[in-house]
Structure 1
Amino acid sequence: MNFPLITDPFFYLIAVPAVLLLGVSKSGFGAGFGSLAVPLMALAVTVPQAAAILMPVLLLMDLLGLATFRNHVDRALLRLMVPFALVGVVLGAVLFKLLDAQVVAAIVGGFTLLFLAQQMFFKPKPHGPPPPRWQGALLLMTSGFTSFIAHAGGPPVNAYVMRLKMPPLLFTGTLAYLFFFINLAKWLPYAWLGLLDLRNLATSVVLLPLAPLGVWLGVRLARRIRPDLFYRLIRLGMFLTGSKLLWDGLA
């Protein structure tokens, strides 16, 4: 049987680096770069279709991330973060059909750049207290919401977790587990919205072999990179993500 997958060469020219970037992000750079995957793919397909195509790819990457970082996770922090993030997922599912895609892109991009500015110009004191719980709750709900809309949940949660000054491997492992639960919660709403059709799923199957390659690249980088460079790259990813999304929203 011939699957009705996407055959446009331009789509794969964009999708292949987007999936590799997502894999590197999932395993090595705390989702800073991965938030660019949907905006990049949206150059060839719509934002909802790009998000739907990436769902099976994300599931495989999440499972690989859980296996890789099973010994590097802050379980107490995870128990605090997951419920708030899931509230954001529910809000995203409810509002999905009411929000224009360009409005969502502009909102996500604007908040991402604001989070980055906060990190760069209002840095926490070296021995200062962690961010208040209400701030973490708000950022995590924002992360769940933007993750549902465009798999762009990395920047808001980065803005919170980076202030906890965690070692790179613990940072990456905890976020890997967090986004496993977020992405798992998105399957039923995506099916309910009619996004998981045969064409999108067949295209996902073609892209699946790139998932372990991207994760492998990310793991190697995460284990070898210096902490200061690690966080600079996350900030660079946040800047690129925010700029691209804001440009898409205002164009």
Structure 2
Amino acid sequence: MLPDLDFYLVAVPAVLLVGLSKGGMGEALSLMGVPILSMAVSPVQAAALLLPILIAMDIVSLWFWRKHGDRKTLTMLLPGALAGIAIGWATSAYVPRDALRLIIGAITVVFVLRYVYTVWKSRSGAAILPKQHRLGPAALWGSFAGYGSFVAHAGGPPFQIYALPLKLDPREYTGTIVRFFATLNAVKLIPYFALGQLDTSNLLTSATLFPLAMVATACGAWIVRRMKPQVFYPFMYTMAFIAGSRLVWEGLGSLLAGI
């Protein structure tokens, strides 16, 4: 049986925001999906409902960005991310999600503030050079991205901490993040099924939102394709700051409420 109208009044804006994010407009919009949908259903069900929708969005995003993506970045980050998903699956019953949100959010906010300081310092003539690939940071932030994506749908900020300083071409960056999370979401289907979070009722409800999800994703891709680098990167760092701040707010608020 499908949900009532009240559910869709909440679900439609949630899916629109997540779709724009999947089109390439930043993880801050995506992080709004589960909290908004949780106004109508439980957080666990909200996460389960969104996963098939995310995969439908991934298919659209992969088509739009099929000619773009940085293979080296994916090669560096994916092994750690897959390990992070496995660790999240094994420890999902023991690790407080709110504490994870707080940690990831705080790290992301500091990362963006450091970028702002570097930009301010560059006004005196110091150049901001692209970072090079490094195996240790790639393994660390990749595992955080996989773990955060599995337990709290918060894998975007760790990915951005590693990938944004590389200063890839905006289209290559977007193609890379699309491929990265499309892979993670497909892999996450296995543990989500094993944990019993995907049943026939949830899948049917998710399917009713597929058309809206695809349109929103296409709109996000259309906007990002027209952004110049000097607009794209400040926008992405702003989105990372908003995402990190929201994670801190959610994690801290929930932890304090439990005291």
The answer to whether the superposition gives a TM-score over 0.5 is yes
CA–CA separation in structure 2 for the residues paired with 1:122 and 1:136: 21
* 8 Å Cα contact 2:89-2:150 kept in structure 1: yes
Distance 1:116 1:188 in 2: 34
Structure 2 letter corresponding to 1:209: P
- 1:99-248 aligned at under 5 Å gives the runs 99-122=95-118, 125-127=127-129, 129-130=131-132, 132-248=134-250
What's 2:47 paired with? 51
Deviation string 1:57-110 (CA, Å, 9 cap, x unpaired) is 111111111111111111232222211111111111112111234333333332
Contact 2:102–2:249, Cα closer than 8 Å, also in 1: yes
The reply on whether 1:37 has 2:33 as its aligned counterpart is yes
Structure 2 equivalent of residue 75 of structure 1: 71
Shift of 1:120: 2.5
Q: Quick check: 1:6 aligned with 2:3?
A: yes
Shift in Å, 1:187: 0.4
Q: Is the 8 A contact 2:81 2:144 kept in 1?
A: yes
The offset of 1:183, in angstroms, is: 0.7
Q: Distance in 1 between matches of 2:29 and 2:142?
A: 18
Match of 2:257 in 1: none
Matched, 1:64 2:60: yes
Distance 1:44 1:249, change over 3 A: farther
Identity of aligned residues (%): 38
Give the stretch that moved more between structures: 90-99 or 185-194: 90-99
Deviates more, 1:198-207 or 1:159-168: 198-207
**3-state DSSP class of the match of 2:93?**
coil
Residues 80 and 143 of structure 2 are in contact (CA less than 8 Å); yes or no, is this contact kept in structure 1?
A: yes
TM-score (norm 2): 0.86
Q: Could you list the per-position Cα deviations for residues 23-68 of structure 1 after superposition, in whole angstroms to 9, with x for gaps in the alignment?
A: 1111222434322222332333333221111111111111111111
Match of 2:256 in 1: none
Normalization by structure 1: what TM-score? 0.89
Q: Give me the whole-angstrom Cα distance separating, in 2, the residues matched to 1:222 and 1:50.
A: 27
Distance 2:58 2:250 in 1: 28
Larger Rg belongs to: 2
Residues 1:92 and 2:88 are matched in the alignment: yes
- Provide structure 1 residue ranges, at least 5 long, that are not aligned to the other structure: none
Shift in Å, 1:160: 0.9
8 Å Cα contact 1:39/1:245 also seen in 2: no
Q: Name the count of aligned residue pairs.
A: 247
CA distance in 2, matches of 1:76, 1:6: 44
